[in-house]
Structure 1
Amino acid sequence: MKKSLKLWGAAFTKEPSRAVIAFTAGRDVASVSPADAKLIPYDLWTNKVHVLMLGKNGIIPKSDAGKILKGLLKLEQLVAAGKFRLDPSKEDVHTNIESWLTEKLGIEIAGKLHTARSRNDQVVTDIRLYLRDQVLTFVGNNIGLVQTLLKLAKIYQAVPFPGFTHHQHAMVTTFGHILAGFATMIIRDIERLKGWYILHNISPLGNAVAYGTSFPVDRTLTAKLLAFDGPDTNSMDAITNRWEPEADLAYSVVVLMNHLSLIAQTLILLATPEFGMVELSDKFSTGSSIMPQKKNPDPLEVIKGKAGFVHGQLVGLLSMGKSNFIGFNRDSQWTKYIVMDLLSECEPAPAVLTGVLLTMMVNTKIMETWCRKGFIGATTLMEQLVAMYALPMRQVKVVVEKAVKRSVGQDKVTFTSLCQSLQEEGLALPITESQVAAWQEPETIIGLTKSFGGSGKKSMKQELTLLAKQLAGHQKWLLQKKKDKGKALK
C-alpha cells in the first residue's frame, strides 16, 4: 500500500524548503525550548569575565579564580557538544551552571564565583548580551533583504508600473521605484536597530542587587571584556528598568514587521490572477488539502500574521514597565519570555521575504498595460498644461476633471474632450492631439518626472547610488561590531 505523506504539492514543480514549511507551520507541531537555554552561552561568558575580574582585583585568590575559569571552559565544551542540559529542578540557568561547578570543584572553590554580584545584575547582563546579538542578527538579515531589493530595483528601474492611492490608479511610476521605496524603509529599520546600540550597549554587571557592592569591583574591565561601551552610570537603573531595552528592541522589530507586512501584502495582490504582475515561486508557496489547483502565498501571509502577533507582545512589554517600584521586582522576569517569543517569531521573516523576491517572476508587459488604464496619465497631462502655458493649477485641474468625465470608457483623456473642456473654461491653447496623447504615455511620464526621489531616470540613479552608500555604511558597522565581540571573547 502506497503511503501519502503530504496533503498537497503534487502540482508543484519545486518544493518549499524545510525552513519555509517551518516558518508557515509556526508552533503547530514544533516545541519551544526553555527561555534560559538561549542564555547559556551568555551566562558562561558573564561568569568567565566576572571571575577574571575577581581574581585580578584580589577579591578571591587567583588560584581559585583559575580553577573556576577552567571549570567554566570545560562546561563550555560540553554545551558546544550538546552534552549539557538545564535541570528544571534548579530554577534557572545561573543556578544550573553554579551547581555544576560546585559538583566538580566543591563549594569551597565554586562558592566564590558569586562574590560581589547578584542574580539581578547577572540576568540583566545575560539578557543584554542576548539582545545585542539579536540586534546584529536582525541587522545582518535586513542587509541581505536590502541588497536584494536594490538589485531588483536596478533591473526594473525603467519598467512602467501603476502607482496607487486608495487602491485606485494614481500616477505612473516604475517597478524599480517601488522596490527602492521598500529598500528605503528597511534601511531606516536598520538605523533604528543600530540606535538600540547607542542606548543599551552598556554593562549592568557589578550593579549587584541594584545598589552596588562594598567589594572593589572593576566594572570598566568587565564592560570591556563583554564588548560593552562601558559600565552604566547608575546601579539602580538597569535593574529597575529590566523591561526597557527589551521594549526598545521590540519596537524596532515591530516597525520592521509592519514594513515587511506592507511588502508582503503588495506582493500578494500583485500575484493574484486579477493583477497578474508577479508570479510567486512554488518554493515559497503552499497548497490546499482539498483544492488541487491552489498555490497559496502562505509565507507572505504568515509575515502579516506575525506582524499583528508581535504588536500585542510589544504592548505587554510596555505594560511591564509602567508601575515599577525601585529595584528588582519578580514580575520583570516575564519580560524575558515576551521578548524572546517576539524575536524568535520575527527573526526568519527578512530572509523568507528575500527568498520570495529572488525567486518570483515579473510580468513587465502587464505592468505596462496597467499604466494605460484608469486615466493614470491625467495628473501629468494637467502638470504639463500648467507648466507650458503658465496657467493656475486649480483652473487646469477643473479642465482636466471635466475632460476625464467626457472621456469615460477611453482610459485616457481624449483630445476632443480636452478641447471641449478648455473652451468651456474660456481657455484657447495651441495644443495638438499628439501632445495630449504623448503626455499620457508611460515612458513620457517617467521621462518628465524630475523631482529628487521620484521615478525619473536621473532621480532613480541618484536614489540607488545613495541607498547603496547607506547600505555599505551599515555593512561596515556590522562587521566592526562583530570584530569587537570577537576581540572581547578572545
Structure 2
Amino acid sequence: MKKLWGGRFDGKNEEWIDAFGASISFDQALAKQDIQGSLAHVKMLVHTQIISKEEGQTIIDGLIKVQEKLTNNELIFTVQNEDIHLNIETFLHEEIGPVAGKLHTARSRNDQVATDMHLYLKEKVEGIIEKIIEFREVLVEKAEENIETIMPGYTHLQHAQPISFGHHLMAYYQMLTRDQERMEENLPRIDRSPLGAAALAGTTFPIDRKFSAKELGFSSIYENSLDAVSDRDFILEFLSNSSILMMHLSRFCEELILWCSHEFQFVQLSDTFSTGSSIMPQKKNPDMAELIRGKTGRVYGDLIGLLTVTKGLPLAYNKDFQEDKEGMFDTVETVEKSLAIMAGMIATMQVNKEHMLESTEKDFSNATELADYLATKGIPFREAHEIVGKLVLSCIQNGNYLQDIPLKEYQEIVPVVEEDLYDKLSSYTAVKNRHSLGGTGFDQVKHQIEQAKKALN
C-alpha cells in the first residue's frame, strides 16, 4: 500500500517495523475527534477561500459518510495507514476520490493530533467532573444518615477520640470537592485550539485559526505555533489531578477494607461490590475496593510515564509523543470506572452503628475529655494530661476503663471532680460537645452538610 507521505522514499519498511511505528491500535479512540477536527478545518478552508465551496462541500459530505460508518462500526483500521489521521484520510479518499487530498491543506498531523487530544480530553474531563459530583452527592446523603453515628476517630491507626461517622464521610466529600476544583481548573488549558499551527511554524495559507477554534467550541487558541504542537502540559495536569483523585479514593478504600473485616465489623458492603473465595466458603472479599486501591498505582505510572517521555524533548514535535495517548486513555477509563464503583459502593453500604458506638466505649478515646474536664476545674492542662495518663495506665493494669472508676476514687486524686464527670466521659457527649467550627459536633456536621447541599445545587 502506498503511504500518503511516501513521495520522499524509494525504500520500503518491513511489516514488523511498520507495526512498531504504528499507533492505530490505540489512537483509533480519537476517530470521532479526528473527523470533528477535519470538519472544522475544511469549513475554515472554504471560509478563507483557500478551497472552493464545491470542493469543501464534497469533502464535508465525504467526512459525514465516514462518520456514519464509524458510528455503525463499519470502518476497518489498518496498520499500513499507521495512525487515525491517515486511516480517516484514506476512508475519505475512498468516498470522494482525489479531492480528499485538499483536506490536508494548511494542516499537519502534528497540529491535527494535538487538536484531537484537546477535544477528547475536554469531553472526558467534563464527564469526570459529573461523576465526581455524583459521588459527592452520595457522600452527603450517607453522611446525613449518620450524623449521630459514633465511631472511633484514629491517629496512627490507634483509637484517638470518638467522632461522628457523618463527619468522617464529609472529610472525603471535601477531598472530592478539591478534586473537582482541580479538574475544573484544568479545563481552560484543555479548552485551547492548536489547529492551524501546522507542523511547527504555521502556514503561508491565509487561514483563520479563530474561525476553526470557534467551530470546535474552543474558548481560545495557542498563541505560539511551536508551543501548540509540542505542549502536553494539559495532559500532564490531567494525569496529576487524576493521581491525587485516585489517592483519595485509595485512602477511602483502605478504610473500607479495614471496616468490613471481622476485627472491625463497622460496615458491610453490598454483594454487588464483593466477591467470594474459590476454596473458603465463608469469605466475602471487598475486591472492588482493593482493585481501586491497586489501580491507583497504574494512574501514577501513567503520570510518571508521560513526565519521563517529555522531560528531554527539544521543540517541536517528536515521535516520542506517540507515547502520550495510551496513558491518557488508560487514566480516563480507570478514573471513570473507579468513581462509578465508589458511588455505588458507598450508596449501598450498610453501617453497623451499634458496633461502631460500642468500640468507643471499651477503649480510652475519652481520655482527652477527662483532661479537658479537669482543665475546666482550674487544673493546668499539662498537669491534667499527666493525671489522666496515670489513670489510663492504672485502668490497663486493672482491666477497666475511665468511666468505671468510682467517683470517690477520682475525688481522692482530684477533689474538684463531681458527678457530672461521667456524662462528659460518654462518647455521645464527647462528640456532641465538639462544636468548634469544622469540628465533629452534630451541629457542625449538619452545617457542613447544609453547605455541601448548597454547593451541589
Give TM-score, length-normalised by structure 1: 0.85
Task: Using the aligned pairs only, state the percent identity.
Answer: 36
Which residue does the alignment assign to 2:387?
Answer: 399
Q: Which residue pairs with 1:375 in the alignment?
A: 364
Deviation of the 1:230 alpha carbon:
1.2
Query: Structure 1, residues 265-306: CA drift from partner, whole Å, max 9, x if none?
Result: 111111011111111111111111222222111111000110
Distance 1:159 1:103 in 2: 66
Counterpart of 2:128 in structure 1 is 138
Q: Which residue of 1 aligns with 2:318?
A: 329
What is the rounded CA distance, in whole Å, between the counterparts of 1:212 and 1:390 in structure 2? 77
Matches within 5 A, 1:154-173: 154-173=144-163
- TM-aligned CA distance change 1:216 to 1:421, over 3 Å: farther
User: How far does residue 333 in structure 1 lie from its aligned partner after superposition?
Assistant: 1.0
Against the structure 1 CA distance between its residues 422 and 350, is the aligned structure 2 distance closer, same or farther, given a 3 Å change threshold? farther
User: In 2 relative to 1, CA 64–445 (structure 1 residues): closer, same or farther, beyond 3 Å?
Assistant: same
Is 1:277–2:266 an aligned residue pair? yes
Task: Give the Å deviation of 1:258.
Answer: 0.7
Distance 1:454 1:362 in 2: 22
Cα drift, residue 189 of structure 1: 0.6
Deviation at 1:414, TM superposition (A): 4.7
Mapped partners of 2:309, 2:319: distance in 1? 11
**Is the counterpart of residue 471 in structure 1 residue 449 in structure 2?**
no
Amino acid in the other structure paired with 1:436: L
Runs of 5+ in structure 2 lacking a partner? Answer: 1-23
TM normalised by structure 2 equals: 0.91
Instruction: State whether residues 39 and 126 of structure 1, in contact with CA within 8 Å, keep that contact through their aligned partners in structure 2.
Output: yes
Q: Please, what is the CA RMSD of the aligned residues?
A: 1.7
Q: Which residue of 2 aligns with 1:96?
A: 87
- Measured after TM superposition, the shift of residue 411 of structure 1 is 3.0
SS state at 1:348 partner:
helix
- The alpha-carbon distance between structure 1 residues 359 and 418, as it changes in their structure 2 partners (threshold 3 A), is farther
Distance 2:386 2:400 in 1: 19
Please list the CA deviations of residues 332-359 of structure 1 after superposition, one character each: whole Å capped at 9, or x if unmatched: 1101122212222332001111111122
- Indicate conservation of the 8 Å contact 2:253/2:290, yes or no: yes
The alpha carbon displacement at 1:416 in A equals 4.9
Alignment of 1:167-186 (within 5 A): 167-186=157-176
Give, in angstroms, the shift of residue 187 of structure 1.
1.2
Q: 1:341 aligns with which of 325, 330, 335?
A: 330
1-structure distance, mates of 2:422, 2:387: 16
Q: Give the counterpart of 1:312 among 301, 304, 316.
A: 301
Per-residue deviation, residues 387-426 of structure 1 (Å, max 9, x unmatched): x234422221111111111222223355459956984xxx
Partner of 2:27: 36
Q: Secondary structure at the match of 1:34?
A: helix
Equivalent positions of 1:249-260 (< 5 A) are: 249-260=238-249
Say which of 107, 129, 132 aligns to 2:119. 129
The separation in 1 between residues aligned to 2:202 and 2:79, in whole angstroms, is 30
Residues 208, 231 of structure 1: CA spacing in aligned structure 2 closer, same or farther, 3 A cutoff?
same
2:416 corresponds to which residue? 430
More contact order relative to length (CA 8 Å, sep ≥ 6)? 1
Partner of 1:206: 196
Q: Contact 2:144–2:166 at 8 Å: present in 1 too?
A: yes
Which residue in the other structure is 2:402 paired with? 412
Unpaired runs of at least 5, structure 1? 1-32, 473-490
CA distance in 2, matches of 1:41, 1:248: 23
Matches within 5 A, 1:214-225: 214-225=204-215
Q: Aligned equivalents of 2:412 and 2:302: distance in 1? A: 58
Q: Which residue of 1 aligns with 2:78?
A: 87
Partner of 1:14: none
Question: Paired residue for 2:252?
Answer: 263
1:39-97 deviation line (CA, Å, top 9, x unaligned):
01000100000000100110111110111001111111111111123122211111011
- Aligned to 2:196, the other structure's residue is in SS state coil
8 A Cα contact 1:172 1:442, kept in partner:
yes
Q: Shift of residue 457 of structure 1? A: 2.1
Question: Aligned partners of 1:413 and 1:238: how far apart in 2?
Answer: 68
Judge conservation of contact 1:399–1:421 (CA < 8 Å) in 2.
no
Deviation at 1:380, TM superposition (A): 1.9
Cα distance change, pair 431–213 in 1 and its aligned pair in 2 (3 A)? same
Question: Matches of 2:75 and 2:401 in 1, distance apart?
Answer: 69
Residue 462 of structure 1 corresponds to 447
Name the SS of the counterpart of 2:178 in structure 1: helix
Aligned match of 2:281: 292
Instruction: Say whether residues 1:112 and 2:98 are aligned partners.
Output: no
Residue 73 (structure 1) aligned with residue 59 (structure 2): no
Residue 207 of structure 1 deviates from its aligned partner by 0.7
